[in-house]
Chains A and B, each alone.
Chain A
Amino acid sequence: MTRAGVLAVGLVTPIGEDLPAVLGRARAGETALRPAPGLQDLPDGRAGVVEGPSLVGWLRRKKDARLLPRAAELALPAAGRALLGFAGDFEELGLCVAVGREPPDEGEAEASLAAIARDGQLDYELLGGPGRALYPPLLPLRTLPNMVLAHVAIQHGIRGENGTWAGGAEAGLQALRAALRLVDEGRAAYCLVGAASSEVDLASARDRLRLGRTFPPGEAAIFALIGRGGRPVRPDAAVTAAMRAAIGDCGPVEGMYGVLPG
């Protein structure tokens, strides 16, 4: 086995964007869980919501901002910080990303979806008329979870071996294991691995409650640059638990908080 470890970490969370400070706040029991806009009518309207983040310096073309799903907005600064100072070959840099559920598609499409309803049923004639005319053309691009990976790759010119994993907290660790194997098997000398998720909208939060997930939702992103010679990855349950309490349940991101800085 090649020894691969963490060389750099970048993150965006509701309790900050500086790793030592964020970990310190989480361990000290600080919490960002508070009443969240849009969730006030739910039984527990709290969530861990990131203010911002600022994309200044992390987005090469401002016009790309309209294409970004929320998880990608969180991912870009996190990935960018993990890559600061990286002098390797971006064409061969691996990229493994864990994502949460797809963003719901009824928010922006509300006018279209409402326009195709007749007497509580979907009307096919209206679908081809106002339904089509009102449907936001960019929405499909924002509901694809792998757009997180796409935007990170585009911003940095990353073209190496890659993949997108989905599936709760486990997805973060699956992406991490895949990244370690990429390095171990020699298919990439370095790999950017991370997770980004946001479930603080009404539709996602409502789905969570209906699935019996009563812990408040959160949103965050964390990325790590791994390569040979770094500090070994040690999943740390205490850090994960503290982070969850501080920022909410972020699915795949939660799994990734096992990554410690190199």
Chain B
Amino acid sequence: MRDVVITAVGLRCAAGSTPGLPDRSWGRPDPDGASLGVPLVARVDGVGEHVDFPDDRKGALAWAAAADAMVGAPAGGRRGVWLGTGLSSLTPDELVRDLYPHLRDGRFDRKALARDLDPDHPAPRRHLPERVTQVIAAAYGAHVAETSFSACAAAAMSIAEAARAVARGDVDMALAGGHDAMIHPIGLLSFVVLGALSTTVARPFDRRRDGFLIGEGAAVLRLEAESDARARGAPILARWLGAGTSVDAHNVTAPHPDGHGAALAMTRALRDAGLTPADVDYVNAHGTGTPVGDRAESLAIRRVLGDVPVSSFKGAVGHTVAAAGAVELALCLACFRDGLLPGTVGLEEPDPECPANVLVANVAKRPRVILSNSFGFGGQNCAVVIGAP
């Protein structure tokens, strides 16, 4: 197996497109959230619709991130694309163009729907979960295109699969990450009815936390064999060390209350990386800001990794859902570059029920090893471990 490194990153999140440690919340009031009682959302600025992804914002975000990750990429070679994706849901455009013309007396006219087979509408293509991966793979000559649909763990799982493919020599270069964009009326509604969103501000691990700030974004990492990268003098942003996954097998919405599944994922990631708990300098927590989730994760971190410093980016850039594992790993790269462990934006009163060592403010320390957690609805968990270049 070959050693794997991260040589480039493309990022689109509310805090911008350059990996850095966000020091404030990027949540802003938004008309899509206002009527649903969602006070803030973390939108990405500066990314418009892409011609290959009409009415598909997550596709446009992924395209932009992938293009940045390809800057300076070596020519040729065997390439693969692994991306995590989220729900397409109904967009306002789809409702207005595709469904509402067939609304009769408060019901959809099914005969009329069945006759309306207009092939030019973007909705059917947008509903194909693999399409974004395949379009990007085709654009960059990749012969492997895999799409993970593992909820909020999708991006992290995609990156792990890609890293293993590079390590085995299946491909010379991998683009890996995730994308999601749920800040639209029906996307927000689906989180609102689950009671998942904060009605105030997101406060991961805080005593007053009441849910998460919804974000959107995409991040794509370029992974290569370390020997290839060093041979051509490519910049190395981080070393890939390992990953572990697990399933809670507990409940489709709530995590295992003592974080059993989360602990399994972290333990397996350490084993895969050949590390001990003492080797980990910082944990980038999933840390959404939900009462149950933060407690379960902090219990698991304490049990597996002891007093290691922990923080969450989600108070700053929001929960980017299926993209979260990639967006947050991209932000973690700045920890190596800047010699800082990030604090948790939004955290003011650490919850004693969350026993992990959660950082309120930045700490000046250059980490050698970072573990990043991503946990999804349905209980799918993934922990990845990266090392300083």
Contacts and interface: CB of A to CB of B under 8 A. Distances in A.
Interface of A: 38-39, 41-43, 67, 91, 95, 99, 101-102, 104-106, 110-117, 120-122, 124-125, 127-128, 131-132, 135-137, 139-141, 143-147, 149-151, 153-154, 156-168, 170-171, 174, 178, 181, 185, 187, 202-203, 206-212
A195 to B, nearest CB: 12
Interface string B97-133: 0011101001110110111111101011101111001
A154 B117 contact: no
Contact of A154 (B88, B193, B252): B252
Contacts, number: 217
Given A144-B378, A202-B113, 16 more contacts: A38-B110, A41-B113, A43-B117, A91-B264, A111-B106, A115-B106, A122-B95, A124-B185, A132-B193, A137-B194, A141-B377, A144-B87, A153-B247, A161-B246, A163-B245, A167-B133
Contacts of B108: 106, 110, 114
A211 B124 contact: yes
A164 B149 contact: yes
Contact of A41 (B99, B115, B123, B145): B115
Given A161-B244, A162-B247, A146 B161 contact: no
30 contacts: A41-B113, A41-B115, A101-B127, A102-B88, A114-B107, A117-B95, A120-B96, A124-B31, A124-B185, A125-B35, A140-B193, A143-B89, A150-B252, A157-B249, A160-B247, A161-B246, A162-B150, A163-B148, A163-B161, A166-B85, A166-B149, A167-B130, A187-B268, A203-B113, A206-B117, A207-B124, A209-B117, A210-B118, A211-B124, A211-B128
B90 to A, nearest CB: 6
B24 interface: no
A101 B129 contact: yes
Contact of B151 (A101, A144, A208): A144
Query: Contact size class for B?
Result: 35 or more
Given A151-B252, A164-B149, A101 B186 contact: no
Interface string B127-149: 11110011000000000011111
A164 B100 contact: no
B252 A141 contact: yes
Given A101-B127, A127-B189, A163-B245, A150 B378 contact: yes
B36 A202 contact: no
B246 A159 contact: yes
A95 to B, nearest CB: 6
Nearest to B35: A128
Nearest to A212: B119
Contact of A132 (B36, B99, B130): B36
B250 interface: yes
B123 A207 contact: yes
Contact of A149 (B35, B185, B272, B378): B378
A149 B103 contact: no
B103 to A, nearest CB: 6
Contacts of A170: 130
A57 B115 CA distance: 41
Contacts of B194: 137, 140-141
A92 B280 CA distance: 24
Given A139-B190, A161-B246, A164-B148, A154 B96 contact: no
A150 B190 contact: no
Contacts of B124: 206-208, 210-211
Contacts of A136: 193
B247 A207 contact: no
B251 interface: yes
Contacts of A124: 31-32, 34-35, 185
B235 interface: no
B128 A181 contact: no
